Amino acid sequence: MPDDAPAALVDQRGHVLVITLNRPHAMNAVNAELSELVGTALERAEQDPETRVVVLTGAGERAFCAGADLKAVSRGESLAAPGNEQWGFAGYARHPISKPTIAAVNGFALGGGTELALASDLVVAAESAKFGLPEVKRGLFAAAGGVFRLPRQIPQKIAMEMMFTGEPLDAARAATLGLVNHVVPDADVLTEALALAEKIAANAPLAVQASKRVALGIVDGAISAEDSAWDNTRENAVGVMTSEDVREGTLAFVEKRAPVWQAK
């Protein structure tokens, strides 16, 4: 892929906007450029009356999204890229848009990748896809919604084991647990996600959007509950993300070695 290729691509297909994370050389890991381009695409989708459904997928055949860019983090760059609170990577997690979103998970969905799937309304997964929150292996914390969305979307004890061990689930197990709507052959992920999107786009947009708004309002609890979840996450995350573990955990990944955590 040319070095100057954009980190995310946008493709309008009738009433469906397809956003493709486009850093396959880095397993579509989220850096500031990718976050900003995803944010711009989401803002366009939200404001364009012609767009009724958004499909989010990853470039290449190996990864949907491998989470935050650990090389950037190991260089001390912020995970919360400036300006992405409303629309960027974190924005997608914290401020779901009013239109239905479908994650077409074409491979690894790890860390922020799983958090993007958790923040999506529907998930179509490749048979080879894997879902996980390995942040704790890097000294990090699933601060983009993982820590409170995962226990809400799958059984609590399974969610706790995933968060504490950092070990992934395969697509079949994720579907059994309710994290995935459809598991399809790897080659069919985008086609199947688009077919589902067209099915939704054929229905009354305002009614579909109102259904999403009310359902999320109930599932996420009252605004105060949702805000306290984020505030609590942020309080815990800041403590974790400013620790020496972050530098050691991410450097260990970059240097392809086991991390050596400081004795606590």
Residues numbered 70 to 109 that lie near ligand LNIPZVSO (CB under 6 A) are 70-71, 79-80, 90, 108
- The least CB distance from residue 186 to ligand LNIPZVSO, in Å, is 15
Q: Which one of 13-21, 36-44, 53-61, 65-73 is the stretch in contact with ligand LNIPZVSO (CB under 6 A)?
A: 65-73
Residue 46 catalytic?
Answer: no
Chain centre distance of CA 197:
18
Residues numbered 190 to 229 that lie near ligand LNIPZVSO (CB under 6 A) are none
Residue 61 catalytic?
Answer: no
User: Does residue number 32 form part of the binding site for ligand LNIPZVSO (CB under 6 A)?
Assistant: no
User: Does residue number 142 form part of the binding site for ligand LNIPZVSO (CB under 6 A)?
Assistant: yes
Give the pairing type, strands 122-126 and 182-184. Answer: parallel
User: Does residue number 147 form part of the binding site for ligand LNIPZVSO (CB under 6 A)?
Assistant: no
Burial class (CB within 10 angstroms; exposed 0-12, middle 13-18, buried 19+) of 95: middle
- The least CB distance from residue 230 to ligand LNIPZVSO, in Å, is 7
- The least CB distance from residue 261 to ligand LNIPZVSO, in Å, is 15
d(CA 249, CA 247): 6
User: Does residue number 245 form part of the binding site for ligand LNIPZVSO (CB under 6 A)?
Assistant: no
Pairs from 254-261 (Cβ < 8 Å, separation ≥ 24): 254/70, 254/71, 254/74, 259/137, 259/138, 259/139, 261/139
d(CA 26, CA 58): 11
The residues with which 183 forms a beta bridge, in sequence order, are 125
Three-state secondary structure readout of 180-214: CCEEECHHHHHHHHHHHHHHHHCCCHHHHHHHHHH
> Do 107 and 61 contact (CB within 8 A), yes or no?
yes
Which of 93, 200 has the CB closer to ligand LNIPZVSO? 93
In one-letter notation, the amino acid at residue 85 is: E
User: Does residue number 26 form part of the binding site for ligand LNIPZVSO (CB under 6 A)?
Assistant: yes
User: Does residue number 118 form part of the binding site for ligand LNIPZVSO (CB under 6 A)?
Assistant: no
Query: Tokens at residue 30, please?
Result: 């989220």
- The least CB distance from residue 84 to ligand LNIPZVSO, in Å, is 7
Give the pairing type, strands 182-184 and 130-132. Answer: unpaired
Q: Which one of 45-53, 63-71, 97-105, 179-187 is the stretch in contact with ligand LNIPZVSO (CB under 6 A)?
A: 63-71
User: Does residue number 115 form part of the binding site for ligand LNIPZVSO (CB under 6 A)?
Assistant: yes
d(CA 54, CA 18): 6
109, 194, 237, 246: residue in contact with ligand LNIPZVSO (rule CB under 6 A): 237
Which residues lie near ligand LNIPZVSO (CB under 6 A)?
A: 26-27, 29, 63, 66-71, 79-80, 90, 108, 110-112, 115, 134-135, 138, 140, 142-144, 146, 234, 237-238, 241
Which active-site residues does the annotation give?
115, 135
